[in-house]
Amino acid sequence: MPYVNVKVAGNLSDEQRRDIISEITKTLEKVAGKPPSSTYVQIDEIPRNQWGVGGKPLSDK
């Protein structure tokens, strides 16, 4: 049973969430032979001020 946890900075639309879940599930089926019915995808949307890169919060960009 594959479990994939995706963390993204900021918010996604419902359509974006659906597309991410669909594409990750298809990739696991194609590459690893995992059935879609056993693949779990969790998306965590993290506020940009809780992410940092290059020594600065993403919210500063």
* C-alpha to C-alpha distance for 58 and 12, rounded to whole angstroms: 16
Choice among 2, 36, 47, 57 that is catalytic: 2
**Catalytic-residue membership of 2:** yes
Residues with Cβ within 8 Å of 12's Cβ and at least 6 positions away in sequence, in order, are 20, 43, 45
Amino acid at 16: Q
Q: Which residues are catalytic?
A: 2
